Amino acid sequence: MPTYGREKSIHLWIALAAFAALSGFMYVSIVYKIINHDSLTLMDLKEVLPHVLAVINVATIAALASGYVAIRSGRRGAHRKCMLVAVALGAVFMVFYLAYHFGAGLAKFGGYGIIRPIYFSILIMHIVAATVAAPLVPVAVYRALSGQLEAHRRLAFWAWRIWMFVAVSGVVVYVMTIHVWPDKAIAP
């Protein structure tokens, strides 16, 4: 089957997303080594990992969006590749996420006033949706890979939307917690 221009474009976006995720981690690691004049320590990783997780989330958003565009335009092969990249990014995200939270605990939100209930509403919706997506996505992937396409379509309708919400809201929570309203008591 020939590769068309659009499919090449999707492959380029997938490659760029994966490159961005890996480059982000490598860049931050190297910068920390240069600044500290020594090797990367566990404490440095606690500071770096939220940024790495955000880069992986953005790459996941790109892969999910590319997969959606591919399937809507009838390009199953491109869709499959995009979604497998999204699944791989999801697996890498979970490894880093668990490593970060087991080592560093939870990030503290420093905002006050009306933004506080807004933030926690977004965070709660994010956590609930992530809890739903965690079993839903692997089942949808299994159904696709095992050839149960009709069952996959029915489940993927919801799985994709929930997964995309989780990825986007994860970036929103990251920006709010780390960049806009960090906890002043723990901020550098």
pLDDT digits 0-9 by tens, 100-146: 887 776 778 999 999 999 999 999 999 999 999 999 999 999 999 99
Residue 1: band (very low, low, confident or very high) from pLDDT cuts 50, 70, 90: very low
Domain ranges for the chain: 1-105, 107-188
pTM over 0.85? The answer is: no
pLDDT tens digits along 41-69: 555 667 778 888 998 999 999 999 999 99
Which pLDDT score, from 0 to 100, does residue 5 have?
A: 54
Tokens 């320590």 sit on residue:
41
74: left (phi over 0), alpha (psi -120 to 50) or beta: left
Which candidate, 64, 111, 107, places its Cα nearest to that of 88? 64
Q: Is 71 helix (H, G, I), strand (E, B) or coil?
A: helix
